[in-house]
Amino acid sequence: MISIGVIFALFNTALSLFMYFSRVVYATGRDKVWTPSINNVLAKLNKHSVPASGVVVLFVPCVAFLFISLNILFFLFKN
């Protein structure tokens, strides 16, 4: 039961940090840190005032790293 609580707490923390960092990516586009074409994409909010492009920019590498690290863990603890 404690492990399930820890899993929920870690998921909640990861989700909140993910949303925070997508706002940071949005702010870099809004403040014109990147090239103009990238700034235009990153500085847009969807109809719910969520920086969807910032979420996608963070989501794709996170999923790749997740599967890479899971494969490494499965390989290490296969025995």
DSSP state of 32: T
Q: 41 near 26, Cβ under 8 Å? A: no
User: And the tokens for 24?
Assistant: 């940071």
* Inter-residue contact 32 to 39 (CB < 8 Å): yes
Per-residue pLDDT tens for 7-47?
899 999 888 888 899 999 999 999 999 999 999 999 999 89
- Closest among 75, 77, 55 to 67, alpha carbons compared: 75
pTM of the model: 0.70
